[in-house]
Structures are given as C-alpha cells and as structure tokens.
Structure 1
Amino acid sequence: MRMTCCISLALALSTLSAGCGEEAAENGGRGATLPCYPPDAAVADGDPDALYAAVDIPRFDFRLHDETWAELQANALDEEYVEAEACYEESSLGLVGLRFKGGYGTLEMCFQEPQVLPCPKLSMKVRFDEYVDGKRFFRQKRLNFHSMIRDPTKLHERLGYDLYRDMGVVAPRSAWATLYVNGEPLGLFSMVEDVDGRFTENQFPEDPDGSLYEAAWPVTVDPGYYAEKITTNEEDATHDRFIAFAEELAATEGAERLAALSTRMDVEELHRYMAVDDAILNWDGITTFYVEEEGSAANHNYFVYEEPSSGRFRVVPWDLDNTLSVGSWRYFGPVPHWTETPDLCDEDIPVLDGRSHVRAPGCDVLFSALNQDLEGHRRAVRDLLDGPFREGRLEAQVDRYAELIRSSIAEDPRGPRPHTWAADVANLRRELSEMRSRMGGLLDGAARAQRGD
C-alpha cells in the first residue's frame, strides 16, 4: 500500500507550483520559473571532469505541466520518464526525460506504511536523449541526482568515490547540484555520473564496448540470471564468460580457486577495492548477502564490467550514501569479516535489529578465493592507510567539501537544519580516527591469520 504521506508531499508540491498566480496561468498552467536563456552549445561536448570538479554548486531547473508533475510524484515507483524542459545555470537544455529513481531504502520505503515522512526528497534521474536522439550533456546521456536522505553529512558519496579512484579503482564521478521544479526549490542533491555505455567509453577507452552488468555475481550457470542483469549489449551478449567464471569457482577450492579467480579478475585491483570498501564501512555493498524470501542470498550496489578483449571482469562501486557511518555499521556487528569462513555457511545472521538477515560473505565462492591471498589484502590496506586514508588527508577533504555545500545546506527547504548538519559533519570528522583504528586492527588480524596464530 502506498504511503499517504508521500502522496501528500506530491500534492503539496503540485500546489506550490500551481500557486504562482497569474504568471502560472500565462505560462499555460506551468509554475513560475527563472528565465531560461538560449542553449549553450558547449555543454553538449563539455569535459565531464570540469562538471564534477566545479568549485560551485550548479543549479538545474525543470519545467513541467502541473498535472504531469503531480502524476510523476504520485506514481514515483513506476520510475517512468516524463517530458520536462530543462535548464542548466540558466542555459536551456531543451526537452529531456525526468523520473524518480531509487532502491528499497530511498524509494520503496517512501511508499510503505506505517513509517511517517521517511523521505523529505526523492532521488531523480535525467535522460537527455529520451525525446531528442543524440542529445548529450557534458558527453553524458543520463545524470543521477541522489537525495542523500540516508546521509546526514551529504558528503559520503563524494568522499567514497574519491577514495576508490585514489586507490586505482574505477568509480563514478560525483559532486552536488540544486534542483528546482517549476521555480520551487527541491534542495541539494548529490550529482552522480551514470554507469552506462558513456561511462565505459570514458573509463575503459582501450576496451570500451564490453558488457556491463548491474549487481551480477558469478554464482550460477543460468544465462537468464545474467540476461536480467545486463545493461549494455543486451541483444548480443551470450554471458558465456560469466557462466564459465561461475563454473570455475564452483569446481575449485583453496589455492586452485584463487588461481581461477586470477584468470578472470585483477586480484590486486580487487584487493584495493576491498580495502576502500572496508575503510568506508560499506555494509550495504558487495560483502552483504541479503537473504531473500525463497532462501537464496544476494549482494547489490555495484556494477561489473566485462572487458571484451581480455575477458576479465572489473567491479565498479555504486550507492555510497550508507557508508562512512560508525553508527550504521554497528547494526552489522555479528557478521564475520569477508576474510573469515565460519563453520556454518547456511546460517542466517540477523542484522538491522532483526529486520533483515544476511549470510557470511566468507562463504561466497569469490571471497573464499580472495581470502587465500591475505598478504595481498594486507598490502592494499597498508597502501590505503599510508595514502588516501592517512591521518589528516580525509579530514581536510571533509572541511573543503563541507565549506563548498554550506550555503546550499542553509538554503535547502527539505534538508537538515544548518546547526544539525554541522554537528553531523563534525561527528564524521571525529569518527575517521575510529575507522583508521579499525583498519589497523584488520591489518593485524590478517597478519595473525597468515601466521596461523
């Protein structure tokens, strides 16, 4: 049953846009907006690095018929695009597709009882070529605006993705933006690069045309599983390499399983990925295998790219709003670390105060292969602690990014109060030391395990 509070939110926003008086009527029923000047041709082929590295917060305006805006919000779960006129920094982007987006925690929960007002804002997605073939924005076909409702600091995605890239792991670029619909402010959002064909062209320029999968793991030989997960090359892909990967892992153990993993993935890169994943307390990422209703378990919040020439697989992180929070991570305290294999692998472990159950990640075939190389794990953790995660460096990034978004936080009608946000940022800054200490403990534990202590 859809939640009445979110329908009320939709109606309230519709009323705001419709309540612009004669100016709205003169615009054919549209709400009042700031002027949107002729298009800037340069933004279509602009450098994406310049967009995400900007030293200010860009503004995006979307103009919809009031009825369309109300219907879009009331049917947010459908995640279907509607027509919208878009502006970027007062330059017209013309007609685009606009919709809401999100997973269970950022969209579906907003329409479930008995929670009360869990979602002050919803994430949105723009598709620039939905109605005009070939249209691009800074060479991108799509752009994500994440609501950050699970992140009190509004810094997690930028900090997390930066850390992955600093460790040589391919990851989306991100920044921030403010959104307006029919002249009414929706507030501050995280602006995140879409992981799609344009992303693979940019990140894998020498091997750009491979298959991209969302949350696919080498756990089955069923091609239908991979067909449901693929997001590029949908019509041509056979999934043979993914199936062979799953077969090889299932048929081996111990050192032989590590060797099988090494033929399909760059193990050193995977260790660097896991070092960052551990450091940012990514309890909702690839190590968390949620138990599903039929009894199986699956992880999420990542992409896998299959390089066409080498046949190797690369993991790309996604959805980091739940990271960098010691308090949230403690809800997963009973779960063994991925380098540990418990005696009972079929045990359902309660997490989130019993609201969900997971399986130990060390029982997974891929992680059981990776934990055969504990020295590689230790090297990656040391490199992280001596480099991007060293004392003082991340604190300086927190200070710099917080200053960048401070005024936008103060102006956000659906965001945290400035003093509350400032306290949460200060708390994150303090908790970075605890996160480093935890990583040091993992480093010592890996050393003891390698010695057989």
Structure 2
Amino acid sequence: MPMRFTLLIVLCCLTLPLTGFSQSPKGQEKKKAGERIFVDGIVHEIQINFLQCNAWDSLLMVKKMRDSLEIRRYLQGNVVVDGKHYYSCGVRMKGESSFDFYPGKKKSFKINFGKYVKKQRVDGLKTLNLNNAFRDPTYMREKIYLDFLREEGLPAPRCSYANVYLNGEHLGFYVLTEEINKGFLKRNFGNKDGAFFKGEPRATLKYLGENSLKYQEDYRNKSNLENPYPDLKDLIRTINQYSIDDGGKFSELDSIFNVEACLKIYAVTSLFMNVDAYNLLYPHNYYLYSNSSTKKLEWIPYDGNYAFCAFSKKFTLAEAQDLSVFYLYNGEEMPLVRYLLGFEKYRTFYSNYITHLLENKFTENQLVDRIDKLSIKIRKYVYQDNNKMYSNADFEQNLHSTIGDEEDPGAFIPGLKSFVHHRIKAVKKELKMNTEERN
C-alpha cells in the first residue's frame, strides 16, 4: 500500500469521533452531581482529620469569629468520604440552636471541598452539610420533609445520612444535606447567574425604602453581581404597597415572582408544621433567586429538623396539630404571607393544592409507610451513636408518640405517626373534606 494512502487512512481515523470513549452513549444523560451522595438507602462514612492537636479549640474559635465578627473562615483539614481522600478542605461548625443547645461534641458541620483546592469536588459537589438532627429523636424529620418537597417538583435540598468521624473519634450519625449554591441553582433552574439572596436573620420582606444598604444585612448577596438588590426591592415594594381591600393587581406580582411554587412550598410547610419557616413563625431559612430564564424570583426553602412541630415557643401540642393552614402569625412582620393568603385567587390555589395533597400523597398510609421503611434503614446507626441527644428508647417512642409535656410550648416533641394522624384529620375538617383515609 502506498505511503500516502496509508497516511490518509490514519488521518481519517483520527478525525472520526471515538464512540464509547470520548462521547456518552446516545440518549444517556450526563451524570448529575450528587447522584451517589444522595442516593436513598446508603449511609456514607465521612472522616474529618486535622493535623493540629488543638483542632477542636480552633473550630470553636472559627465559629465564634463567624458569629460575633462575621469573619467567614474555615479550618483546613483532610476529609475521607467512603474511602476516597480529599485534601485541604475547608471545615467549620454551623448552626444556631443546634450549636448552642446540643450537648457534647456532636455539632453540625459544613465541609467546603473546594475552599483551598479550587476544583476539588465530592461527587461533583463543592459543599456538604452535616446536620446533627437537633430536637429530632427520630433523625427523620428533615429528610421526610425535604424529600416530599422535591417529589412535588419544588426546589429543595437533597438529603441522606452519614456516619462522621473527627480525628478518628466517632462523632455520630448525621443528616447529610445539599448546599444551596450556584451548582444547586444550575441543577434546579438551568441557570445560575441571576440575583441570589439568603434570607437571614430577620428577612421579613418589609419595605425599608430604596437604599440597598438597608437590605444587605438580612438579605445576604450570594451572587457575583455588584448590585443585585433591584430585583429584591421590586418584590418587596410590590407586596407591601398592595391594599387587599382594593383588590390588588395580580399580574404585577405574578410577573416578577413564581407565586404558584411558593404557595406549594408554604402548603407543604404548613402540613408538616415546619415552624422554623417564614410562613409560620420565623422569617428566615429561605433563599430567593432571580431565575434568568423566567425573569422571576424563586422561593427556595431549607432546614427541616423542626418539621412535625419539633419545637414551638407558641403552641401546645393540640394547638399545633389543629393549626389552621391559613395561619398568619404577624401580618406586619410577614407581609408576603398576608399578601398571598389575602387574595382569593391565591388562597383558592393554595387550598386546592392542599386538598390535592391530602387526597393523593399526604395521607396517613403513605407517610406511616415512609416512617416505617426509613426507621428500618437507620435504626442500627442511631443505636450506635453514643453522642446523640436522645436515647434509643426516645427514638423508638417518638416514631409513634409524643415525648415531653404536651401542654407546655417548647417542652414536647410530637410523635411522627400520631402527629400525622391528628394533623390530617384537623386540616381535612378545616377544608370540609371527607375524613376517610384513601390508599
């Protein structure tokens, strides 16, 4: 064969696509970040290791600096996840009540795998949260709540579990949750470059005027935009300037805010009585993102360890179980709830969605089945956790019945199954629904 012809064949081969090597098989989607970490049924092992002997004191100092001086630092350490090593990761303690009132060394942590090694990721994720299940003897509240939101197509963090070790010491069994960051935005909305805010600690959505500086403390800018606040101020101005008595103008809010998704999130939050949320008792634990595709702000919830009313400074158990799904704690402090539930159009959509959930998904049979299956998966890990806040007996009891004084707000933790039973019955009565359980 002539040399020129041979060379031509080689060159042609080199220019052809290498099917099965350089390209994914036809129809096969690119692996989604976090698919392995957040797969159901797997309890991961996470080992955090520091070289310094006083690492614990350093972690406490970093937490104190963050809380008092707002200096956002991490401690550098190495992390092993399911046997795979990640070097020079950023580690810090996190949480408020879960830090201050959780006894012993089992604190909540945030691990930033790309803090010091820019492109380092675990299963495609830059950051993971390790939550210590504060005030949850069952370890299930956050997972059941977040899973339910996601199954409804709503933007919420994924959730799984991990056994966590610090310098060889078993800290305990943790709830592992997804970080809400730009990767989360891209996976949930298909874009990540819009205005992005974290609502904390008093993100009431009250109008404070046109000066953006007045919004910076309670609506932390999480985007790279130099001045993202016009979108936020448009929303806040709109919900505060409407008079319900005048009938309002629905189109204006609908054009800048994903109202239906927000109402669905509020509906799920109310059914689960996740009291540490904007539409119930506390104006925080949410993000707002300006979706570049729709040009609308999106409501993103997180933090579900208080679901099933694990803590409430205001309600007795009976009051919590019977609480109206149209409850408005303080209309002046929560103007978005006042606005959404004050107009018939939105109120009707909200109540119809709750009715749909009660008839099809938020049913006693289905929720009890979830609780039973999840308890089987995690029971041995709960029992092995010697640093947990509650006993093994508390774990077993709280699956079914309430722990603590039911008449003293804040002194009880409702049983998962008993709370579901009474909550469904109460809401169906309020909405004048048939109280018979459907399969």
TM-score for both structures, normalised by structure 2: 0.77
Distance 1:47 1:285 in 2: 27
Whichever of the two has the greater Rg, that structure is 2
2:39 is aligned to: 53
Q: Deviations over 1:403-432 (max 9, x none)?
A: 111111111111233222111112212221
Distance 1:202 1:308 in 2: 13
Distance 2:369 2:254 in 1: 37
* Local SS of the residue matching 1:400: helix
Q: Deviations over 1:71-127 (max 9, x none)?
A: 223553334311111101122122211110012x122x34xxxxxx74552110000
- After TM superposition, the structure 1 = structure 2 runs for residues 387-398 of structure 1, keeping only pairs within 5 Å, are 387-398=360-371
2:53 is aligned to: 66
Q: Which has the higher helix share?
A: 1
Classify 1:433/1:362 alpha carbon distance in 2 versus 1 (closer, same or farther; 3 Å).
Answer: farther
Letter in structure 1 aligned against 2:189: F
Classify 1:288/1:53 alpha carbon distance in 2 versus 1 (closer, same or farther; 3 Å).
Answer: same
* Local SS of the residue matching 1:55: coil
- After TM superposition, the structure 1 = structure 2 runs for residues 150-299 of structure 1, keeping only pairs within 5 Å, are 150-205=135-190, 207-215=191-199, 216=203, 218-220=205-207, 221=209, 222-228=211-217, 229-254=219-244, 255-256=247-248, 258-288=250-280, 299=283
Asked whether the 8 Å contact 1:258–1:369 carries over to 2, the reply is no
* Local SS of the residue matching 1:265: coil
Letter in structure 2 aligned against 1:224: L
Classify 1:261/1:81 alpha carbon distance in 2 versus 1 (closer, same or farther; 3 Å).
Answer: same
By how many angstroms is 1:365 displaced? 2.9
* Local SS of the residue matching 2:216: helix
**Relative to structure 2, which stretch is displaced further, 432-441 or 212-221?**
212-221
- After TM superposition, the structure 1 = structure 2 runs for residues 375-386 of structure 1, keeping only pairs within 5 Å, are 375-386=348-359
* Local SS of the residue matching 1:198: helix
Asked whether the 8 Å contact 1:120–1:149 carries over to 2, the reply is no
* Local SS of the residue matching 1:132: coil
Letter in structure 2 aligned against 1:91: K
Asked whether the 8 Å contact 2:195–2:225 carries over to 1, the reply is no
- After TM superposition, the structure 1 = structure 2 runs for residues 320-339 of structure 1, keeping only pairs within 5 Å, are 320-325=304-309, 328=312, 330-331=315-316, 333=319, 339=326
- The percentage of counterpart residues that share the same residue type is 20
TM-score for both structures, normalised by structure 1: 0.75
Distance 1:56 1:143 in 2: 16
1:8 is aligned to: none
2:396 is aligned to: 422
Classify 1:99/1:189 alpha carbon distance in 2 versus 1 (closer, same or farther; 3 Å).
Answer: same
Q: Runs of 4 or more off by more than 6 Å in structure 1?
A: none
Asked whether the 8 Å contact 1:174–1:191 carries over to 2, the reply is yes
Letter in structure 1 aligned against 2:396: A
Letter in structure 2 aligned against 1:59: E
2:130 is aligned to: 145
By how many angstroms is 1:166 displaced? 2.2
Classify 1:93/1:434 alpha carbon distance in 2 versus 1 (closer, same or farther; 3 Å).
Answer: same
2:386 is aligned to: 413
Q: Deviations over 1:296-318 (max 9, x none)?
A: xxx11111111124331111111
* Local SS of the residue matching 2:270: helix
Asked whether the 8 Å contact 1:213–1:232 carries over to 2, the reply is yes
Distance 2:147 2:325 in 1: 23
Asked whether the 8 Å contact 1:77–1:100 carries over to 2, the reply is no
Distance 1:274 1:309 in 2: 23
Q: Deviations over 1:193-224 (max 9, x none)?
A: 0011111011111x332222111454223412
Letter in structure 2 aligned against 1:438: A
1:365 is aligned to: 335
1:99 is aligned to: 92
**Relative to structure 2, which stretch is displaced further, 380-389 or 194-203?**
380-389
Asked whether the 8 Å contact 2:278–2:334 carries over to 1, the reply is no
Distance 2:136 2:237 in 1: 39
Matching of residue 304 in structure 1 with residue 288 in structure 2: yes
**Relative to structure 2, which stretch is displaced further, 155-164 or 217-226?**
217-226
2:112 is aligned to: 127
* Local SS of the residue matching 2:43: coil
**Cα RMSD (Å):** 2.6
Classify 1:96/1:364 alpha carbon distance in 2 versus 1 (closer, same or farther; 3 Å).
Answer: closer
Classify 1:120/1:396 alpha carbon distance in 2 versus 1 (closer, same or farther; 3 Å).
Answer: farther
Runs of 5+ in structure 1 lacking a partner? 1-44, 111-116, 291-298, 342-358, 446-453
